[in-house]
Structure 1
Amino acid sequence: MSANDAPNVTGPPPTPPASGRGVAAALTTAAARFAFSPTARLDAELLMAHALGTSRSAILIDPDRFTVPETFAAFVDRRARHEPVAYITGTRGFWSIDLAVGPGALVPRADSETLLVAAQAHFGKREPATILDLGTGPGTLLLAALTEWPARGLGVDVSPDALAYAQINAATLGMADRARFLRSDWAKAINGRFDLVLANPPYIGTHEPLPAEVRDHEPHGALYAGEDGLADYRLLAEQLPRLIAPGGVAVVEIGATQAPAVAALFESNGLSTALHHDLGGNPRAITAT
């Protein structure tokens, strides 16, 4: 996904209240340091909940029942250096599950849930029996799909770091018997067809600007895809026709401006396509049959 670089914040950062003082004040001060983030207050609340070992909702209901823990200041400093909140807390919610994430694994984005909605629309009351997730990262799309259908799935990624998180997440979610993972450059090592093929490939152009928390922390191999951001779609367009089972579908995430180009690549390889939008109204996924 593409975004502009975050604005610089000038002047000395406010000093968070020392541990033992009010949580509400500490949240306000921390959020002020996160002015670069469009979710500054939420970031502060998530970090406080992590520091306290409680839920965000518990803090919102009654912040004054808590004392600011000593670890909070360090978390605030890390976030002020643009480190993703998910890397600091070690987890990110996606669909109906929580996933362990960290350096080397792409942080799951809510926009990617569009792929699961599109898959549900395709199958209706039917159930896919086999699922393939190309570029699975920490198992994001595969494990979310396995919560919806009693299927078996294969997650593929070229990154050993990402696959390590995926295996941890499968075990934590009780899906180790239904999800397996394979290191492969897309589908080069895969034979067979699948009812549902999911993919969230890199789609950022090499020189396209990104926020510092993405550019400086998340794995570039999961972000950048050549000068035009289409390099991996060209590979997928060649591979998808042999991967989709009869009656099945591939659902592939795209950047907001890439629908015409990606659809043309897929259609030139004999696939029929349809476009799906995310909750913000942006083009977000293409289905291919």
Structure 2
Amino acid sequence: MASTDIWTIQRILQWTTRYFKNHGVEEARLDAELLLAHVLKKTRIYLYTNFDQMLNRDELAAYHTLVERRAKGICVAALTGHKDFMGLDFFVNEHVLIPRPDTEEWLEKIIQRYRAKGNLHVLDLGTGSGAILLSFLTYCAEADGIAVDISPEALEVAKKNAEYMKLENRVEFRQGDFIDAVNEGELFDGIFSNPPYIPSKDIENLSEDVKHEPHMALDGGEDGLVFYRRLAAKAGNHLKSGGFLAMEVGIHQAEIVHKMMEETGEFDSFEIISDLGGIERAVCCRKK
């Protein structure tokens, strides 16, 4: 990509798409468009209606840097600092997991189920960017909650998102070690958690873009189930009668987590929610 050449929007998108495909980027054209729209501070629609627009030297330099980083495995959201989730715009960075469509599938069902329930008080364990809790609060207008994360940097991202969405008065942010950050006697109408669930030995085999995300948000211990055991041991102590527990799980973990929670004797109304690809993605239940 020589800076002395004439690069129009159309030409540079064609070049980048080929370059990404040669580097194994799955959504080559889409990623090229998202990065260029970010550099130009325009929408993707703008790119299609202005194919002949030429890029200046500064725009080319900024775009080239992002293209090279994407080709090395850093995902688009981490490069642009933004990710759409549940129809909302979230700030993201290297300190948080990037919210994914798989999570939207089960969260949408929980929101539809509880959005008319009134002033619910909920807990989000391992909040990261705050995507799950802040989406729930956005669509459940009378709810409030507590967001817990062990990472102070992640909590800063979540706070920024809450302020951007004007939800900061409905959220308490608490730094701490997962459910141990909850005080004795605190009770909730619902608990969310998308905990680390990748077995430690499998992390090195993850895709390059995921490897660039914080390992503490990925590593679920030897078998990937460490945090579910902690939920099984303590979640029931912090749920009101009839309160829900909604947990994202990894591939082939749903039945194991279901059984783990069932064996506590504290929960009923179990449901396993699959994503659009048919993969069992979440386990939900209620406190008896």
My pick for the range that moved more, 226-235 or 115-124, is: 115-124
Matched residue SS, 1:83: coil
- In the alignment, residue 90 of structure 1 is paired with which amino acid? G
Work out whether 1:263 is the aligned partner of 2:258.
yes
Q: Give the corresponding residue for 2:46.
A: 58
Q: Which residue of 2 aligns with 1:32?
A: 18
Q: Which amino acid aligns with 2:39?
A: A
| Residue 176 of structure 2: aligned partner | 184
**Aligned residues of 1:17 and 1:25 also touching (Cα < 8 A):** no
- C-alpha change, 1:17 and 1:24, in structure 2 (3 Å) is farther
- Residue 141 of structure 1 aligns with which residue? 132
- Which residue matches 1:101? 92
The root-mean-square deviation of aligned C-alpha atoms, in Å, is 1.8
Return the alpha-carbon distance in structure 1 between the equivalents of residues 151 and 273 of structure 2: 28
**Structure 2: distance between partners of 1:50 and 1:146:** 28
Cα offsets for 1:172-191 (capped at 9, x unmatched): 11111111210111111213
Of 156, 163, 184 in structure 2, the residue corresponding to residue 171 of structure 1 is 163
Cα distance, 1:102 vs. partner?
0.7
Structure 1 stretches lacking a partner, 5+ long: 1-14
Structure of higher RCO (CA pairs closer than 8 Å, 6+ residues apart): 1
Q: Measure the CA separation in 2 of the matches of 1:61 and 1:250.
A: 47
TM-score (norm 1): 0.89
1:81 aligned partner, one-letter code: K
> For the Cα contact (< 8 Å) 1:17–1:26, is it kept in 2?
no
1:194 matched to 2:191: no
Partner of 1:90: 81
- SS of the aligned residue for 1:247 comes to strand
Compared CA separation, residues 19 and 133, structure 1 to 2 (3 A): farther
Give the drift of 1:32. 2.1
Q: Give the aligned length.
A: 274
Q: Which amino acid aligns with 2:28?
A: A
1:204 match: 198
Task: Measure the CA separation in 1 of the matches of 2:177 and 2:206.
Answer: 25
Tell me which residue corresponds to 2:248: 253
Whether contact under 8 Å (1:16, 1:73) holds in the other structure is no
Distance 2:197 2:109 in 1: 19
Which runs of no fewer than 5 residues in structure 2 stay unpaired? none
Give the structure-2-normalised TM-score: 0.89
CA distance 1:125–1:37, shift in 2 (3 Å): same
Structure with the higher fraction of residues in helix conformation? 2
Is it true that 1:287 corresponds to 2:279 in the alignment? no
Amino acid at match of 1:275: I
Cα distance change on mapping 1:27 and 1:126 into 2, 3 Å: same
Q: One-letter code of the match for 1:266?
A: M
Cα deviation, residue 161, structure 1: 1.1
Aligned-residue identity in percent: 36
